[in-house]
Amino acid sequence: MRNISIITIFFTLLILQGCGGESLISSITTSTESATSTDTTSSTEPVTSTETTGSTEPVTSTETTSTVTVETTTRTVAPYSDNPLLPQQWYFIKNDTFYNTHNINADAHIHPWPTQTYTGKGIKVVVIDDALDTTHEDLQGAVVETYDLETRTTNVRPKDNSETHGTAVTGLIGASSNSIGISGIAPGVELYFIRLPFNSTISDSVIVEAFQKAKEWGADVVNCSWGTGSVSDAVKSAIIDLARNGRNGKGTIIVFASGNGGIDEIGDPIGNDESGIDEVIAVSATNINNERTAYSNYGPQLDLVAPGGEHMGLATLDLMGYAGVDMENYIEYDSSEAFGGTSAATPIVTGVVALLLEANSSLTRDEVIQILENNADKIDPTQCTYDSNGHSDYCGYGKVNVERTIRALIGG
């Protein structure tokens, strides 16, 4: 039996210093992992996807409040502009004043749909991560079901303030647009959460069980902002089974962080990580200059890039109150504990997938991946040379573009 002593969670601890209105990283830290092996079995056949093109204009929301029913609760989706921290969400929507103040590239965001027609309504998103503050004010009415693989209970709340990662990740996907803090990329989704005890020894069988639980719940999309760097055959098999056979045979879309390189802060090859499995979407990160981040892992397995921060963090959820790293319910863009990395880029792609599935729930996994890749922005030609199929080992098929992708899906 192989045991993973620490799963690598792919976020960067951005230590920011003001400099004439700009924020700069002085250090990037990731957790490390080690494994001992004599292992388990099986794996199956891979599949691949294709292509891509250019870019469109940024947009703002003009939508009115709507409601989304989740089980017996109702999520209210207020206009994005009602959320006081929205200007800090440079990765989501372009706020001219914030962009100009911080000298952010005009295309650094994901080019959201011009209205709130699509919010991920009815889409089941499963997050597998370290813990979730289910009491958070921006998650009320959003979380449908939870499960802790360590305690075998539904209590997935953090054991201490070191377990903030899952709350930050979940916020980027599906924080409620409720006029309190931020909005997730898909604020109407149905959130499900599986707690993996990152701070303790985890066997392959526990990781396998996480994906089996996601399948049992009928997951449409699964977010994994972590990796082991050495995926076993047993875990690979469980991931491939869900990717191919979930959603009643249409395939569950599984989104994995590619990783943040090593202690030298320079990206490494993806290699035999979970993100290297052909059936998943592997995501690396971009910065406020609309360029690939230096720490992002790379390789032929890379599918897409999305904003993950480098010179600036991503505003997202903190633990509530004094339990949090910032003690203000939110981790803001310029926090000393700012959130970023491929861990942050991954939930952005997950949120976008939820929007696509709301627009057309009959899409297969392969069709979702293909339409995302075909309509991604070809960014950063200096670092990212694209081949004749539109792929770059350093930027995948490009940076996710919501508006172009949905227009390609629905026409117009």
**Predicted local distance difference test score (pLDDT) of residue 8:** 64
Which tokens go with 274? 């979970």
Question: Does position 2 have pLDDT exceeding 80, yes or no?
Answer: no
Output the pLDDT for position 157. 97
Residue 37 has pLDDT above 90, yes or no: no
At residue 325, the pLDDT reads 84
38 has pLDDT over 70: no
Cβ atoms of 182 and 330 closer than 8 Å? yes
Amino acid at the residue 323: A
Mean pLDDT confidence for 211-217: 98
- Whether the predicted pLDDT of 52 surpasses 90: no
Alpha carbon distances (Å) from 317 to 160, 184, 382: 16, 10, 34
Helix boundaries (H) for 20-151: 96-102
Higher pLDDT, 130 or 55: 130
Give the mean model confidence (pLDDT) for residues 165-194.
97
Does the pLDDT at position 19 exceed 90?
no
CB atoms within 10 A of CB 27: 9
Give the Cα separation of 150 and 143 in Å (integer): 19
Buried/exposed 355-364: b ≥16 CB within 10 Å, e otherwise: bbbbeeeebe
Looking at per-residue pLDDT, the higher value among 361 and 55 belongs to 361
> What band does 31 get if pLDDT is binned at 50, 70 and 90?
very low
Q: What percentage of residues in the chain have a pLDDT greater than 70?
A: 81
Radius of gyration of the chain from its Cα atoms, rounded to whole angstroms: 19
Q: What is the pTM of this model?
A: 0.86
pLDDT at 3: 60
Tens-place pLDDT, residues 339-360: 999 999 999 999 999 999 999 9
Angle between helices 402-410 and 342-359 (to 10 degrees): 20
66, 116 Cβ separation under 8 angstroms: yes
CA nearest to 46, candidates 252, 280, 368, 279: 279
Q: What pLDDT is stored for residue 30 in this prediction?
A: 31
Return the structure tokens found at 346.
Answer: 């991954």
Highest average pLDDT, of 31-40, 66-75, 385-394, comes from: 385-394
Mean confidence (pLDDT) of the chain: 85
Residues 118-162: pLDDT tens digits?
Answer: 999 999 999 999 999 999 999 999 999 999 999 999 999 999 989
Domains by residue range for the chain, with CATH: 3-410 (3.40.50.200)
Q: Which of 66-70, 176-180, 193-197, 255-259 has the lowest mean pLDDT?
A: 66-70
Quick check: 254 pLDDT over 80? yes
Query: Which pLDDT score is estimated for 100?
Result: 98
Query: Confidence class of residue 412 from pLDDT cuts 50, 70 and 90?
Result: low
